[in-house]
Structure 1
Amino acid sequence: MGLAERRKVMGYSQERFAAVVGVDRTTVGRWDRGETTPEAIHRPKMAEALQLGLAELDALLTPPPADFPECTASPPCDRHGSEGIDDMIRREFLRIMVVAGSLTTLAPDDADAIAEAVDRGSAEDFRLMNGHLWQVYQLARSKSSVNTVVKDQLGALNEALKESSRAGGLYEVAGDLFQLSGELSFDGNRYTDAAASYALAAEASSHARAYDLWACALVRHAYVDVYERRYTEAAETLDVARRVAKRGNSALSTRYWVASVQAEVYAGLQDLGACEKALGEAQRVADLATPVHPGGWLRFDGSRLAEERGARYVQLGRLDLAEETLRRALETKTLSRGQSFRRRGAVLVDLAAVGAKRHDAEQVVTYGGEALRLAKKTGSGYIARRLQALQGDLRTCRRNRRVVELNAEINAL
Structure 2
Amino acid sequence: MRTPRTGLAERRRLQGLSQEALAERLGVARTTVTRWEAGDVEPLAWVRPALANVLSLTLEDLAALLTPSAVGRDVIPSRVPAPDMAPAYPPYPLDDGELLDVAERRSWLASLDVSAAKIDYLAPAVEWIIDQDERVPPADLHAKARGLRSHLHPLLEAPQRPDTAMRLFAVAAHLSGAQAALSLDMGRLPSARAHAAEAFDLAETTGDPDLMAWARAAQSLVEYYAGRYPDALALANDGLARSPRGPHAVRLSVNGRARALARMGDRAGVDHAVGHAWTVRTEHPDPETALTASLTTTVYCEPRAAGNAATAYLAVGDTARVEQYANLALDTFDAEGFTGPQAMTRIDVATALLDPASGDVERAASLVADAYRIGGAASFPVRQRVAEFVDAAASWEALPAIRDVRELVSGHTTEEGVHADT
Q: One fold, TM greater than 0.5?
A: yes
Matched, 1:128 2:127: no
SS in 2 for 1:288: coil
Q: Which residue in the other structure is 2:19 paired with?
A: none
Q: Deviations over 1:324-376 (max 9, x none)?
A: 4424533x2x2333522111111110111112333632122111111121133
> Normalization by structure 2: what TM-score?
0.64
Distance 1:327 1:162, change over 3 A: closer
Q: Deviations over 1:181-226 (max 9, x none)?
A: 1111011011111010010110011011122121111111112221
Residue correspondence of structure 1 range 316-331 to structure 2 within 5 A: 316-330=316-330
Q: Which residue in the other structure is 1:311 paired with?
A: 311
SS in 1 for 2:113: helix
CA contact (8 A) 1:345 1:383 kept: yes
Distance 1:214 1:317, change over 3 A: same
Q: Which residue in the other structure is 1:286 paired with?
A: 282
Q: Distance in 1 between matches of 2:366 and 2:379?
A: 19
Matched, 1:259 2:253: yes
Q: Distance in 1 between matches of 2:216 and 2:57?
A: 37
Q: Distance in 1 between matches of 2:402 and 2:172?
A: 45
Q: Deviations over 1:250-296 (max 9, x none)?
A: 5x521222111211111112211111111111002123124489976
CA contact (8 A) 2:135 2:339 kept: no
Q: Distance in 2 between matches of 1:394 and 1:292?
A: 40
Q: Distance in 1 between matches of 2:153 and 2:15?
A: 21
Q: Distance in 2 between matches of 1:25 and 1:270?
A: 63
Q: Distance in 1 between matches of 2:304 and 2:270?
A: 16
Matched, 1:197 2:195: yes
SS in 2 for 1:356: coil
CA contact (8 A) 1:202 1:218 kept: yes
Match of 1:335 among 311, 320, 333: 333
Q: Distance in 1 between matches of 2:57 and 2:355?
A: 62
Q: Distance in 1 between matches of 2:346 and 2:134?
A: 20
Q: Distance in 1 between matches of 2:57 and 2:196?
A: 32
Q: Distance in 2 between matches of 1:15 and 1:387?
A: 63
Question: Unpaired runs of 5+ in structure 2?
Answer: 1-13, 17-55, 59-80, 82-109, 413-422
Matched, 1:412 2:411: yes
Matched, 1:389 2:388: yes
Q: Distance in 1 between matches of 2:111 and 2:138?
A: 36
Kindly state the Cα deviation for residue 306 of structure 1 after the two structures are TM-superposed: 2.6
Residue correspondence of structure 1 range 11-410 to structure 2 within 5 A: 118-119=113-114, 121=116, 122-140=118-136, 142-165=137-160, 168-169=165-166, 170-246=168-244, 252-260=246-254, 261-284=256-279, 285-291=281-287, 297-299=296-298, 300-330=300-330, 332=331, 334-337=332-335, 339-358=337-356, 360-376=360-376, 379-410=378-409
Q: Distance in 2 between matches of 1:302 and 1:327?
A: 12
Deviation beyond 6 Å, 4+ runs, structure 1: 292-295
Distance 1:116 1:302, change over 3 A: farther
CA contact (8 A) 1:262 1:275 kept: yes
Distance 1:129 1:306, change over 3 A: closer
Q: Which amino acid aligns with 2:379?
A: S
Q: Which amino acid aligns with 2:113?
A: V
Q: Deviations over 1:50-107 (max 9, x none)?
A: xxxxxxxxxxxxxxxxxxxxxxxxxxxxxxxxxxxxxxxxxxxxxxxxxxxxxxxxxx
Q: Distance in 2 between matches of 1:171 and 1:399?
A: 55
Q: Percent identity?
A: 16
Q: Which amino acid aligns with 2:247?
A: S
Q: Which amino acid aligns with 1:258?
A: L
Provide the alpha-carbon RMSD of the alignment: 3.1
Q: Distance in 2 between matches of 1:392 and 1:234?
A: 23
CA contact (8 A) 1:353 1:390 kept: yes
Q: Which amino acid aligns with 1:349?
A: I
CA contact (8 A) 1:292 1:301 kept: no
SS in 2 for 1:337: helix
Q: Which residue in the other structure is 1:111 paired with?
A: none
* Structure number with higher relative contact order (C-alpha < 8 Å, ≥ 6 residues apart): 2
Q: Distance in 1 between matches of 2:284 and 2:316?
A: 29
Q: Highest CA radius of gyration, 1 or 2?
A: 2
Distance 1:321 1:259, change over 3 A: closer
Aligned length: 299
Q: Distance in 1 between matches of 2:220 and 2:135?
A: 24
Q: Which amino acid aligns with 2:128?
A: H
Q: Which amino acid aligns with 1:156?
A: H
Q: Which amino acid aligns with 1:268?
A: R
